[in-house]
Amino acid sequence: MNQMEKESKLWGEIKEDLRRQGNVGEYGFESYISQLKLKSDTGTKLVLEYPVDMFIDWVETYYSNDIRMSAARVLDAARELEYVPACADCPEQAYNDDEQEPSLFTPALSASCNIPANTTTDRKRKTNRRRHNNINSGLNSDYTFDSFVVGSNSEFAVAAAKAVVNAPSSMYNPLFIHGASGLGKTHLLQAIGNAIREKDDSVQVLYVTSEDFTNTYIDAISRQGDSLSNFRRKYRKADVLLIDDVQFLSQKGKTQEEFFHTFNALFASGKQIVLSADCPASEITRLDDRLTSRFEQGLTVALNVPDLETRIAILRKKRRLWKSTLISDEVLEYLAKNITRSVRRLEGALVRLATFASFSQKSPTVQDARVQLNDLLKEEKNTTDVTVADIQRRVAEEFNIRVADINGRRRTANIAHPRQVAMFLARRHTQNSLQDIGAAFGGRDHGTVIHATKTIEEKMETDPTLRDLVDRLASSLA
């Protein structure tokens, strides 16, 4: 088997793992993942080749982490990613105006791959310098405060993030940002890093997900020589460390121990640390108490679900940025009203409609949006229609008790266990706050809800019967 065949086989295995994990939808897989090719595996980095007319920023933003995780599983070792255009002599994007951003749908370059005459050397140097910084820091230069739409759901978090930029490590250290998936945590972390680098490009900024931290650590301890020392040096020389999705450190004992020492070393040196998670630190299951206390010693801020006006503003800004002029305000308002839980899903819906508009060369109607986004809208309906009352009724039926028992004060085992299951499902399948969930269960406090959730999570790990029961209940609610 020659080298090209080996790379093709490896990429096939990675794609198969991506399909098994189910994190990339069929549309994303066919439109983006299937168009990529593995050019080389250097041992530390996978070089992926993409068609020159592909919107590669979308792939980097929304699929890179899943690709890295699948690669780590297939190769049993962590890999960084680098994306290169299919034609090695082509620029990553062709700009017609030095002051303009690229359109979402940049036309493919001609077969001769000539760079447009008005693409300047300065632009190329700027792009090359940006790529160099991104490779070293893990930052994506598209994530800035200017491109983040601020609403009532995020104004406090954005203000705190900008305060960190203005005075790193002097006010809020660490800054802990939490919120549900797809609300902009990664964007805000990266915006902090980019803004700090903009002020002083000598500052060592490092952005990494906790999954990447874990994989790199496992790789380091499995190798001989100076691998572990090099790993520690990489993270501890950072002036600003941005760690995304720290909830994935849950249950990883040795990795938590290593991160604890990394955190202490940076904090003691006066370095800024910014963390994100999908829940407050106190709610992360099986997180070392020492880390929980470290995470809570600075400032904790929340990113909440944006209201309708903010969702419309986000879509309008993206339409302007991507130059998707065929998408009407009426369609944007339809999207904003029907996709409510995740900014990422909202942007994904806009990309799909913009692609449809580009291919059909017509402005999509609301009916077109219903047809093109049928799967997304169904999933959204399943998510948004479930209420705490629905969950209480379904759990009461399953355990042959009354809803009044679940909401009452009795603590006997035949009541307490179903109540905990119902609280767990309410926490996982509704957007209600801890306080609201507790209130719906007879006026209990948020600490009771946290305890119930953790209790069921721990029991599910060792009790397959309970795990199957919870999965069945969740499916019946959907």
The 10s digit of each residue's pLDDT in 149-206 is 888 889 999 999 999 999 888 879 999 999 888 888 999 999 999 999 999 888 899 9
Task: Encode pLDDT of 191-244 as tens digits.
Answer: 999 999 999 888 899 999 888 888 888 888 887 677 888 888 888 889 999 999
- Write out 270-317 in H/E/C secondary structure: CCEEEEEECCCHHHCCCCCHHHHHHHCCCEEEECCCCCHHHHHHHHHH
Task: Encode pLDDT of 316-329 as tens digits.
Answer: 988 887 777 788 89
Q: Which two tokens stand for residue 203?
A: 């500052």
Type of residue numbered 42 = T
Task: Encode pLDDT of 379-437 as tens digits.
Answer: 776 555 678 888 999 999 989 898 888 888 888 888 999 999 999 999 888 877 787 88
Separation between Cα atoms, residue 459 and residue 449, nearest integer Å: 15
Among 249-263, 350-364, 368-382, 433-447, name the most confident range. 249-263
pLDDT at 132 over 60: no
Q: Which two tokens stand for residue 110?
A: 């001609």
Host H or E run for residue 455 = helix 446-462
C-alpha torsion angle, residues 219, 222, 228, 234 (rounded to 10): -10
Of 398, 378, 416, nearest in space to 473 by CA? 398
Residue 414: how many CA atoms within 13 Å on its side-chain side?
4
> Is the distance from CB of 35 to CB of 54 less than 8 angstroms?
yes
β-strand 45-50 against 37-41: which pairing, if any? Answer: antiparallel
> Is the distance from CB of 448 to CB of 283 less than 8 angstroms?
no
Task: Encode pLDDT of 51-78 as tens digits.
Answer: 876 667 677 777 888 898 899 889 888 8
Q: Average pLDDT over the chain, rounded to whole?
A: 81
Residue the block writes with tokens 């990429």: 11
